């Protein structure tokens, strides 16, 4: 479940979400929300996403964050135009 506040994260975890995606959180807010989710629901996977790139990645890593998604890996990829002609 994608959430944008700590309260939504707790609601999603309490409702039975297997994974809670904390989207567009600041690093401090992310760690606080992730710690709260893990304290109440240790089996829930906590994922961080939104605005994370290689430069700021270390700020989003922590003991309560299980997964980090970085859109920059796909947003910046160049396309390759090819065709198969028989």
- Per DSSP, the three-state class of 25 is coil
CA-CA-CA-CA dihedral for 4, 28, 37, 74, to nearest 10: 60
- Domain definitions of the chain by residue range: 2-76
Give the pTM. 0.82
**CA separation for the pair 21, 65 (Å, rounded):** 10
pLDDT of 23-52, one tens digit each?
Answer: 999 999 999 999 999 999 999 999 999 989
Query: What integer is the mean pLDDT of 67-82?
Result: 77
Q: What local confidence, expressed as pLDDT, does residue 34 receive?
A: 98
Question: What confidence category does residue 68 fall into, taking pLDDT thresholds of 50, 70 and 90?
Answer: very high
Q: What local confidence, expressed as pLDDT, does residue 73 receive?
A: 64
| Architecture, CATH, for domain 2-76 | Alpha-Beta Barrel (3.20)
Please list the residues that pair with 23 across neighbouring strands. Answer: 49
Q: State the average pLDDT for the chain.
A: 92
**CA separation for the pair 78, 64 (Å, rounded):** 33
**CA separation for the pair 40, 17 (Å, rounded):** 13
């Amino acid at each position: 479940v994608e959430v944008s506040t700590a309260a939504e994260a707790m609601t999603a975890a309490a409702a039975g979400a297997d994974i809670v995606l904390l989207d567009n959180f600041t690093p401090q807010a992310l760690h606080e929300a992730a710690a709260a989710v893990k304290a109440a629901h240790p089996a829930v996977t906590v994922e961080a996403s939104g605005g994370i790139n290689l430069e700021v990645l270390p700020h989003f890593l922590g003991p309560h964050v299980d997964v980090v998604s970085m859109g920059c890996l796909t947003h910046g990829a160049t396309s390759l135009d090819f065709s198969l002609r028989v």
